[in-house]
Amino acid sequence: MYRIVEMGFWHGKRVLVTGGSGFLGSHLIDSLRKHRAEVTAPSHQQYDLVDKDQVVQMYDENPCELVIHLAATVGGIGINREHPGKFFYDNLMMGVQLIEYARRFKIPKFVALGTVCSYPKHTPIPFKEEDLWNGYPEETNAPYGLAKKMMLVQSQAYRQEYKYNSIFLLPVNLYGPRDNFNPDSSHVIPALIKKCVDAVESGASSIEVWGDGSPTREFLYVQDAVDGILLAAEKYEKSEPVNLGSSFEISIKDLVELIAKETGFKGQIKWDTSKPNGQPRRKLDTSKAEREFGFKSTTTFHSGLRKTIDWYRLNSNG
């Protein structure tokens, strides 16, 4: 669990969280409130963060000492392929304007959440932060990954010119309770959990999975991600990017078989090899986060997966 470095750091601190109604945001807000921060989490209905005037209005109406920017237009491979333009524009404009006007409003610190999708398609394993610019991202989510990476460029440029204190974190794929289980936009773990649990409940004899199962992925349990963000917000004061991950790598094939086992699905797994695999491998070097602000994930993958499956079973309408 998150280690408080200074007992009074969060007590009474005014924190504005974008994307607070999302998966990661809901867990982050829970933790901030436990540490007695004063949290504001405006909804998309209140302020459209793609609109400059509404960003200005949000900062004007919600004075704060720290911004944690989680809001994103995000989803799995399918929806990235369908809406590359929207994913690029929305994420770019949100980041650019939120950082620019945080600086103008003299908000003391800005925490920007990037994405592992920003890394080049063929990055040496494990991904080191210094490899971030050594190639083009995997094509299916490059517009999203590049739009988010512009916050890193902006953060470094603004620290150089304006001495503005912003940091840029690169979380690997997250999972956990309250994840997005909508099959149109979910990521791989919730999508597979839903397929397997629903198949068990309906008596279906098979499930279909994209690709051939060969790619590998690293996953970080959502509460561990929250702990990493809080530690970085409290202790890290540089604009160089930092990975947040678990250092645990698993192939999609092994992942599917594990989820099938944990959910009790005994049917056939059909691989649709006409669909893309996505990036061949993902595994982060997480040593910098531990070195710079003492973060190391503590939730084992099996434990986190069981908690996620249990949550879905309790909260699904199926």
Domain 14-315 has CATH 3.40.190.10: no
Q: Which residue has the higher pLDDT, 147 or 4?
A: 147
- Mean pLDDT across 266-278: 92
User: Which residues, 6 or more positions from 158, have their beta carbon under 8 angstroms from its beta carbon?
Assistant: 99, 103, 164, 166, 239
Give pTM, 2 decimals.
0.93
Lowest mean pLDDT among 177-186, 217-226, 283-292: 177-186
Average pLDDT, the chain: 94
Residue 231's pLDDT is what? 97
pLDDT tens string 120-141: 999 999 999 999 999 999 888 8
Residue 190's pLDDT is what? 96
3 state DSSP class of 130: helix
| Diameter over CA atoms, the chain | 61
pLDDT tens string 180-215: 998 877 889 999 999 999 999 999 999 999 999 999
Residue 5's pLDDT is what? 47
Tokens of 253: 């094939």
Percent of the chain with pLDDT over 90: 86
- 3-class secondary structure per residue, 256-303: HHHHHHHHCCCCEEEEECCCCCCCCCCCECCHHHHHHHCCCCCCCHHH
Strand partners, 111: 68, 167
CB 270 within 8 A of CB 207: yes
Residue 280's pLDDT is what? 84
- Mean pLDDT across 256-262: 97
- C-alpha distances in angstroms, 244 versus 45, 111, 140, 204, 294? 30, 13, 22, 37, 11
**pLDDT above 80: residue 21:** yes
**pLDDT above 90: residue 314:** yes
Percent of the chain with pLDDT over 70: 96
- Mean pLDDT across 26-46: 97
pLDDT tens string 58-104: 999 999 999 999 999 876 667 667 889 999 999 999 999 999 999 99
Lowest mean pLDDT among 87-96, 114-123, 235-244, 256-265: 114-123
**Enzyme catalytic residues:** 144
Taking the domains of the chain in order of start, what are their residue ranges? 14-315
